[in-house]
Amino acid sequence: MPNPLSGLKPALEVLAQNVDILPATGQAVEDLLRPDQEEVEDTVLTKDDTRVDTLIERPNRELYVPTPSLPRTEQHVFRYFLDGSQRSYFLGTAVERERSSPIQLAQIGAAAVVRQNDGQVRKGLSDHRYLLLAARDQFSDQVWQALEGAFQAGERFRLENIAAEDEDQPELPTGSDLRSQAVTKAGWRMHEMEVELAQRIASEADEGDWLVIDGSVRYKALIRLKQTVGVAKSFSKAPRFQIGRGPRVQSLNIMQLLAALEAGHRTCAFSAQSGQVAFWYVRLREQGMVDYPLMGVIKVTLPNPSGEPVSSDLVDHLSRALVAERHVTPHGRDTRWHVHLYPIYLAEQVIKNGFLSQEVIRNAIHWPTIAGMTMRR
């Protein structure tokens, strides 16, 4: 079997010939995402919206609204389901004189599944790529240019500068080290792949066929999409909500808001990003079925580029269809089973089935022996 990562060999040779390499034990060590990356991203994206006091739907003004299940057999609302995933591996540290940079490999992917009229789900669009990540400012111009030259245009292997700033990319938490920045950079490239697929789906979808994206639609490129919602399984716990006006105003933190949310109900829709996004919460499961009041709840985001009030009928309609998606779950196979939408779970499996296992990564990555273990002076 040919080496599936042979496309990285020229880049590894450039590094081995020009800098000192301190290889990771076992050639590659997986970077585990802790804490929950989706919650971290939502916290960063919502840092300017932690005080929520604007309802964006009309005519409903109630805090909680019943949303009984609307099954596909009654009305087929959600047709497309899109997810992205990544795995990052620490390969070693490159040392050039007094400077050093982690060298990391990331597998990133995005995939969509399509549900047909009879309920059968089939694989739709998908994409997989490999990223070699390093910090540009830790290398001389000569070495970095040689690294860039080791990658061929159009290949699935790409060189990424960990520290490069990208438009719309969420800011990193203060004090993040280069390895954490690399994981975040890989996640951002994964989101870009999701956006590309979402834009293609939205342009081809028939009227009334909605797309569900795993995560948030608070990125600029997604806010412009039609017939699209984001569904987050994990979300920021920072927002505080002020409901009503005058002496009867209620101030609730997210724990208080969701603890009183019953199964098959939604909260009212709130405004974010100056009204360009509407968001609300839906409880998929009875609290007696889960271990904690915040389990079994999803956060729904809806693009609203006009900033105008959103129809309560539309919010109800989408929420009811989402409640119907929760019935089949990967219980015991994923710790997030209580908030999984089954087609999203299938999209995630499409991506992960295209990833190389950690064992394959370890056996496929070999630093050229020219690097040795001798530090250059």
Question: What pLDDT score does 219 carry?
Answer: 72
The pLDDT mean for the chain works out to 85
Cis check for the bond before 35: say yes or no (omega within 30 of 0): yes
Residues 99 and 186 in one domain: yes
* pLDDT tens digit sequence for 88-133: 999 999 999 899 999 999 999 999 999 999 989 999 999 999 999 9
Rounded to a whole number of angstroms, the CA Rg of the chain reads 23
Sequence length of the chain is 377
Q: What is the amino acid identity at position 274?
A: S
Question: What pLDDT score does 74 carry?
Answer: 94
* Comparison of pLDDT for 38 and 208, the residue scoring more: 208
Residue 61 lies in a domain: yes
Torsion 8-9-14-20 (CA) sign? positive
Question: What pLDDT score does 242 carry?
Answer: 86
Residues 110 and 167 in one domain: yes
Taking residues 61-80, what's their average pLDDT? 94
Residues 41 and 62 in one domain: yes
Torsion 192-197-203-206 (CA) sign? negative
Residues 71 and 88 in one domain: no
The count of structural domains within the chain is 2
Question: What pLDDT score does 231 carry?
Answer: 94
Residues 65 and 195 in one domain: no
Residues 237 and 176 in one domain: no
Range from 174-178, 293-297, 358-362 carrying the lowest mean pLDDT: 174-178
Question: What pLDDT score does 43 carry?
Answer: 60
Residue 296 lies in a domain: yes
Residues 6 and 138 in one domain: yes
Question: What pLDDT score does 375 carry?
Answer: 38
Question: At a CB cut-off of 8 Å and minimum separation 6, what does 98 contact?
Answer: none
Q: For residue 231, how far is the Cα from the chain centroid? A: 10
Question: What pLDDT score does 373 carry?
Answer: 40
Q: Rounded CA gap, 95 and 99, in Å?
A: 6
Residues 162 and 254 in one domain: no
Distances (CA, A) of 325 to 70, 73, 79, 300, 330: 9, 12, 11, 13, 13
Cis check for the bond before 303: say yes or no (omega within 30 of 0): no
Last residue of a domain, one of 187, 206, 225: 206
Q: Is the pTM of this model over 0.95?
A: no
Taking residues 42-57, what's their average pLDDT? 71
Range from 74-78, 125-129, 285-289, 327-331 carrying the lowest mean pLDDT: 327-331
Task: For residue 262, name the pLDDT band (cuts at 50, 70, 90).
Answer: very high
User: For residue 207, what are its two tokens?
Assistant: 């009227």
Question: What pLDDT score does 371 carry?
Answer: 43
Compute φ and ψ for 95, nearest 5 degrees.
-120, 120
Question: What pLDDT score does 374 carry?
Answer: 38
Q: Rounded CA gap, 203 and 226, in Å?
A: 9
Question: What pLDDT score does 372 carry?
Answer: 44
Domain membership of residue 136 as a residue range: 1-31+84-206
Question: What pLDDT score does 175 carry?
Answer: 55
Last residue of a domain, one of 206, 233, 250: 206
Residues 166 and 63 in one domain: no
Taking residues 44-48, what's their average pLDDT? 59
What are 224-230's contacts with CB under 8 Å, separation 24+? 224/303, 224/305, 225/198, 225/199, 225/303, 226/202, 226/303, 227/202, 228/198, 228/202, 228/302, 228/303, 229/300, 229/301, 229/302, 229/318, 229/322, 230/300, 230/301, 230/302
- Tokens 């699209």 correspond to 228
Residues 26 and 148 in one domain: yes
